Structure formats: C-alpha cells, structure tokens
C-alpha cells in the first residue's frame, strides 16, 4: 500500500506540522516515509505546501505529481485540485473553503477544521487560549479516517508522534492536539460537526471509502 499526499495552505496554519505529524505517525508504525516541504519567504500568510509519501514498501521517489490525497486548508490552495488523481480524496477545511466541488471524479470530504478546533477550549493549556491553532490536528484526524486508520486502536501512535515534536513547554499542547485529532476523525467518519461527503467516486486502492 502507498499513499501520496499534498497538504496546502498559508503560513501560520500549521501545514508543515500537519504533514510532518502524518509522516511521523506512519514512521512510528514501521512504514517508509518521505516528507518534502515547500514554502515561500514569508513567515506568515505565504503559500505553503508539503509532499508526503507513505508506503509499506521502499519509496522510489519523494516526488508527488498526482496525489491520492489532497488536504486544502484555505481557498488559494484549491489551485492544487487539478493535480489530484482521478478517484482520489480531497479533504477540505470547510470553515474557510465554502465551495470545493470543482471535480466530479474525486471524493470530497468537508471538515470545518477551524470551527472544530475553536470549540476545544476545555483542552487549552491556559484558560482563554485560542484553540483554533489545532485546526491542523483536526485535519490530521480526517486524514487518518480517509486513509483507513482507527483512532482508538492507534491512539498511542498518535500520542508518540505529538510527543516527538511537542517537547518542553509545547508538551502542554499534546492533550489539545490529540482531542483535535479525535474530533477530526469523528467528523470525517461519522459526519459530525458539520462534516459532509460531497461526492463518492469508485474506491481507490490505499484509501478508505
């Protein structure tokens, strides 16, 4: 099995972290992974994209030209939709992207990631802390769902991935991020929190439909 993914958004949305977590999650499980970030010179607000390949066999190339999975965090990143493989899956942050239906040959899963993350205040490391920063973790959970993962069965792998990157003071954000993954997973698998399946093409090997 191999899944090729592009995650895209703007600086400040945690796109690189999302792709890194997704890649490391599979690394912890013993898979082969390739992670290639790409971003502009801007610290925040610039275009950001990242290529990820995960496979249970050796990876010949880290280049992703026709992804099986495309994660879109904002409207400008819909420019990548033409690259998506026929029968692939588009996971879109519907909090910011209101009309993602630009192809009828792909599966589109709308998850209001920013809204879901903003509702997780009880997991904030400090009272009143803005939790919308965990929108990328919500999308991580959605990616887990559409690639056939099981949140409960793989909770410890998820925790291990976060613990690798969120160290020292950032460790206080681990509970928030795990909760965000769980809610994103639920949204993509059960249609909770406003998530909806826009279209469902024939099943694609390597992705859960």
Instruction: Determine contact, residues 7/92, Cβ cutoff 8 Å.
Output: no
DSSP 61: -
User: Residue 195's pLDDT is what?
Assistant: 42
CA distance 186 to 41: 35
User: Residue 191's pLDDT is what?
Assistant: 57
What is the helix (H) or strand (E) element at residue 3, kind and residue range? strand 2-10
CA distance 55 to 92: 23
Residues of the chain with pLDDT under 70: 39-45, 191-209
Question: Is the entire prediction scored with pTM above 0.95?
Answer: no
User: Residue 102's pLDDT is what?
Assistant: 74
User: Residue 205's pLDDT is what?
Assistant: 36
């Amino acid at each position: 099995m191999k899944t090729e993914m592009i995650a895209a958004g703007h600086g400040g949305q945690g796109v690189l972290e999302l792709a890194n977590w997704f890649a490391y999650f599979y690394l912890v499980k013993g898979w082969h992974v390739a992670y290639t970030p790409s971003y502009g010179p801007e610290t925040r607000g610039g275009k950001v994209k990242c290529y990820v390949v995960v496979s249970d066999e050796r990876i010949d190339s880290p280049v992703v030209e026709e992804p099986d999975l495309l994660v879109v965090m904002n409207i400008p990143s819909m420019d990548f939709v033409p690259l998506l493989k026929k029968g692939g899956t588009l996971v879109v942050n519907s909090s910011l992207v209101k009309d993602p239906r630009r192809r009828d040959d792909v599966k589109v899963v709308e998850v209001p990631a920013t809204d879901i993350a903003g509702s997780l205040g009880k997991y904030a490391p400090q009272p009143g802390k803005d939790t919308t920063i965990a929108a990328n973790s919500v999308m991580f959970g959605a990616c887990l769902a559409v690639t056939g993962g099981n949140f409960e069965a793989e909770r410890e792998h998820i925790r291990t991935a976060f613990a690798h990157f969120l160290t020292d003071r950032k460790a206080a954000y681990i509970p928030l991020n795990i909760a965000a993954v769980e809610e994103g997973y639920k949204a993509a698998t059960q249609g909770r929190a406003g998530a909806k399946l826009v279209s469902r093409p024939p099943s694609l090997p390597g992705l859960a439909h």
